[in-house]
Amino acid sequence: MATATAHARILFVDQSGELGGGELALLPVAVHYRERSAVVLLQDGPFRTRLEAAGVKVHLLADARVSGVRKTGALMGILRAGWPVFRQVRALAELARDYDLIYLNTQKAFVLGTLARIFVRKPVVWFLHDILSRDHFGRLQLRIVRTLAPFSDVTIVNSEAVADSLRTLTGRPDAPLELAYNGIDPTPFDLTVNTQRRALRAAIGVPTDAWCIGLFSRLAHWKGQHVLLEAVSQLLLGEHGALERRAFGGAGDRGNRSTERPARLPEIHVVFVGAALFGEDDYAARLRDVVARHGLQPRVHFVGFQDDIPAWMAAMDVIVHTSVAPEPFGRVVVEGMLAGKPVIAARAGGVTEIIEDHVTGLLTPPGDAPALSRALALLRRDPESAREFAQRGREVARRRFSETAYLEVVDTAIERALERAAAKTQVFPEQV
Ligand code: UDP
């Protein structure tokens, strides 16, 4: 797609070097604008390699003292990072001088990028990929974002759920926001072949004819891998096999559980695709420990972070999403649909804007393992319905979450921010 704004010089800023959903959402945008733009990363990692391989210029402005400030962190942590933050803000402002617009893709990037405007007047587009609530952020971080939010020229959100959270936080119910659902290219999902499915299954010890459940997500408590473990333990071992939930107690797990018991369902395997990307190693260790203690290793497989998601999804019979806190968007849900698999997802946040229950997939209450067990059992026993959900899901995902539509919204948002800046220059030429 060649557009006028594709020639704009944009400085994208992202705090992470990891390949999280926000970074994967930025990738096609950065590629689209790569001719005259660049990405600033506040941390090094595989995202840099991926950007550079796609021909995108990357500047690294890493400082461990700034990246060490967590999104639920306390005031002291932020104050200790004061001087390094100031230096990063100055460095960002210096870089921004050569660009027409700053595009801020993560919260830390938003804070630093907005402060950088003290030194360099450039229009700002803020892409908000997070639900701004206490499920995900500390009180102080929310206050900082609320204070800085009005300084964004154009704000893009990736779901209505994210828009609602921002409007609630800022107390501006009518704040104009651009809605850009993530666009995902279906081509790699169409190209997977059966030999790959067999090879991947063989590599991890899943028989070709086993019924395989895939959960694709970084390992983190709020992503709810433990909910799937509990659900499958009931399917594999019956009522007495239920795992001890206390091992995974923690903030965000609403424990919203129904009491009806599912029937046993042998011959199933579970594959967790993803790694603990953002310091949730303890949680990942507890998952593995519980699997080992219950002797579930032959049926439960941890394969770590994988690049070829379409191939791994093709190797599954069902894709499950289990977040116990509202998901801002849920790329994996759309990817599961594009892969032509029946998807069961947690009914909260952006996910409810993607799946229509019992039409394009199944929705279960977040944290409700028995309900998830029953949904799995339903798909297993009724392959015809499973096929119908998958087929309708694929059609809807292709139509509603296309990369072209996504890039068009982003393009328009950038154009609008540039136009506003130009209009201001004409009215107050000496101030800009
Ligand atoms: N993903 C990946 N490799 C993995 C696990 C996940 O590339 O091993 C990708 C997944 O395909 C999806 C993204 O990471 O595109 C996660 O995005 P999502 O919106 O589901 O969650 P987030 O990470 O943004 O919370």
Domains in the chain: boundaries: 3-183+402-431, 187-400
First to last CA, the chain: 31
Which of 18, 47, 189, 217 gets mutated to test ligand 1 (max ligand atoms within 8 A of its CB)? 217
Atom number in ligand 1 closest to CA 223: 25
Ligand 1, atom 7, residue with closest C-alpha:
307
Residues 357, 344: Cα–Cα separation, whole Å = 9
Determine the atom of ligand 1 nearest the C-alpha atom of 218: 5
Cα 333 to ligand 1 centre (Å): 10
| Beta-bridge partner residues of 103 | 12, 125
Most informative mutation of 19, 185, 219 for ligand 1 (most atoms within 8 A of CB): 19
Alpha helices in 63-217, H assignment, sequence order: 64-67, 75-80, 82-96, 107-116, 139-148, 160-170, 187-190, 194-204
Query: Which atom of ligand 1 is nearest to 327's Cα?
Result: 25
Q: What is the pLDDT of residue 43?
A: 94
CB-ligand 1 contact for 103 (6 Å cutoff): no
Contact 162 CB / ligand 1 (< 6 Å): no
Q: Give me the half-sphere count of Cα atoms (radius 13 Å) on the Cβ side of residue 381.
A: 11
Ligand 1 pocket mutation, candidates 14, 157, 332, 334, criterion most atoms within 8 A of CB = 332
Classify residue 69 by its DSSP letter: S
Ligand 1 centre and the CA of 50: distance in Å?
14
- Ligand 1: does its nearest atom lie under 6 Å from the Cβ of 18? no
Q: Return per-residue pLDDT of the chain as tens, 432 residues.
A: 545 566 789 999 999 999 999 999 999 999 999 999 999 999 999 999 999 999 999 999 988 776 666 665 655 566 566 777 888 999 999 999 999 999 999 999 999 999 999 999 999 999 999 999 998 899 999 999 999 999 999 999 999 999 999 999 999 888 889 999 999 999 999 998 888 899 999 999 999 999 999 999 999 999 999 999 999 987 776 655 556 555 665 444 445 555 554 444 568 999 999 999 888 899 999 999 999 988 888 899 999 999 999 999 999 999 999 999 999 999 999 999 999 999 999 999 999 999 999 999 999 999 999 999 999 999 999 999 999 999 999 999 999 999 999 999 999 999 999 998 888 776 555 544
Neighbours of 277 (CB within 10 A): 19
For ligand 1, atom 16, name the residue with the nearest CA.
21
Helix (H) or strand (E) holding 60: strand 57-60
CA of 430 to the centre of ligand 1 (A): 45
- Shortest-distance atom of ligand 1 to CA 329: 19
- Which amino acid residue places its CA nearest to atom 6 of ligand 1? 217
Both tokens of 372, joined, read 């998830």
pLDDT at 274: 97
Q: What are the φ and ψ backbone dihedral angles of 364, each rounded to 5 degrees?
A: -130, 155
Q: How far is the CA of 179 from the centre of ligand 1 (A)?
A: 20
Q: For tokens 């409810």, what's the residue?
A: 352
pLDDT of residue 111: 93
CB of residue 19 inside a 6 A radius of ligand 1: yes
Q: 273 CA to middle of ligand 1, Å?
A: 9
Residue 74 confidence (pLDDT) = 59
Query: Tokens representing 349?
Result: 């946040």
The residue written with tokens 């000496």 in the block is 430
> What is the CATH architecture assignment of 3-183+402-431?
3-Layer(aba) Sandwich (3.40)
Q: Of 3.40.50.2000, 3.40.50.980, 3.40.190.10, 3.40.50.300, which CATH number belongs to 187-400?
A: 3.40.50.2000
Model pLDDT, residue 251: 42
- 297-311 residues labelled b (16+ CB within 10 A) or e (exposed): eebbbbeeeeeebbb
Measured CA distances, 385 to 208, 235, 375 (Å): 22, 20, 12
Calculate how far, in angstroms, residue 22's C-alpha sits from the geometric centre of ligand 1.
Answer: 9
Tell me if 50 CB under 6 Å of ligand 1. no
Residue whose CA is at the smallest distance from ligand 1 atom 17: 21
Of 198, 200, 161, nearest in space to 177 by CA: 161
Q: What is the pLDDT of residue 62?
A: 85
Q: What share of the chain is helix, strand, coil (3-state, %, to 5)?
A: 50, 15, 40
Whole-number Å distance, alpha carbon 109 to ligand 1 midpoint, is 20
Residue nearest to atom 10 of ligand 1 (CA): 332
pLDDT at residue number 424: 77
Read off the tokens for 124.
Answer: 């700002």
Q: Is 22 in the pocket of ligand 1 (CB under 6 A)?
A: yes
Q: Which amino acid is at 202?
A: A
Determine whether the shortest distance from the Cβ of 69 to ligand 1 is under 6 A: no
Residue 323: what pLDDT?
Answer: 98
The pLDDT score that the predictor gives to residue 80 is 64
Q: Does any ligand 1 atom lie closer than 6 A to the CB of residue 47?
A: no
3-class secondary structure, 359: coil
- Topology agreement, domain 3-183+402-431 and domain 187-400: yes
